[in-house]
Structure 1
């Protein structure tokens, strides 16, 4: 808000004082724009950043942008590690009456438990609560159903970052070799209790894909109600200027693609062009990893044809 006020005041100054802002690419009427130290921004503001004239209005605005970016990153880290990550720990499952230990191993080893509805319901409700906890942490007043003077778009942008992290964490956990496999990366793979996943880890099936898609749909509707997050809405207020970031936000992109892949008929799976259309972000190595743990179920009782496995092997190439 301070930067918006400064920008507006600068725009109202005589041209000799305020013209430098427009000529250097800063829009005085902007409300939000978070910058990162990317190469593009370094080149764009190289001459400005080398200046030591702190009385320059443009320098002050850029300094405010840096502070905003730092504060925003700290908010994301705080909510992630203190609000969402605790829901990934074993004590969450224990407190909810779910058992751990040897009984877990037996449960996940049985074919008929793929697409386990008990686990799916538990996971769906668990993460609904986690999203609500995040909402209360970001703005207790809005979480209580009241109007607030804070900028709601900031909470939405924070949650978009957190949903992307959660999407990757669940994706990595589902692709583990078994439910008992421990995570190796605390950042991209922080889930230590596989029971918080919407489907069992280490196995794939048509039924598991359908259950995963159902859970994603429930979470997406909940996020829309809490934060106004909607799928495929253009992102006009990027926190980080990054050419790799999608033009629009879609909640749980990786899990969406994984569920589509699990439910893809074998005839279509053999077609490379169809596979690229359904899940363009997955390479043959990752697709082979998904289907190496495929288990037939009541929705798809047949095993994967050998010719499809051979086709994937030929695309992957020798190790």
Structure 2
């Protein structure tokens, strides 16, 4: 039971940043914006969360710094793609490269320093339930935020009037504009929300998953989060299922090495990314279902006066 509990706890910890980042990107893509800079925003959130937490001794301030850094980075993406109408794919890739470079520069003097771990919240009585207690009722605040985030995004997109407008912008920005919806403002807010989520996911990496700073510590998780959005068919609840599936694959390679399973370590390290490719190939085979769920205006620029 102890081994099972340890494995499940590590899966939850590994899956949480994927769920958070994918939920934020899902909202951005529902508005018609394809932001490939998730990796860059995550790594910026990780480094600034670690720096602020180490400097102040407050993980709460570190989390806020991570969220703010992701939102500001996404604002830069918004200015370039929504106001200056730059290509979204190229800008997102540039944002990732910029984030990896800036984070390495900012965190250079913090490499090797011990971090301050965000401690779990122990809910009395419920936390004492065997197996379930530690898994659900002795988790850190970011885990609970991820659950609330999924609930909130699902309600916002499919139950609120603002969510209906956002989905309308993603499906046909010209029609939404004709009906009086401010397309650019809606997309700015969606992009900044996605950036804030990516920054929070990065903060989880440097404050919970591995409380330290290592250059490029996101290790491709931003790209996995992007794949998760497609895997989930732009549905929040499917993001949770996909996030925990990919988290389990990531953790399995660590435990396989610990148990001495005779598989090359290089293959095990590549396993999460191989799984990502396999899932995308499987999804792409059902082109009809993909087209039905994909926002029709995804990746398309909009200029009101054209």
TM-score bracket relative to the smaller structure: under 0.3
Q: Which has the higher helix share?
A: 2
**TM-score, normalised on structure 2?**
0.26
Structure with larger Rg: 1
**TM-score, normalised on structure 1?**
0.26
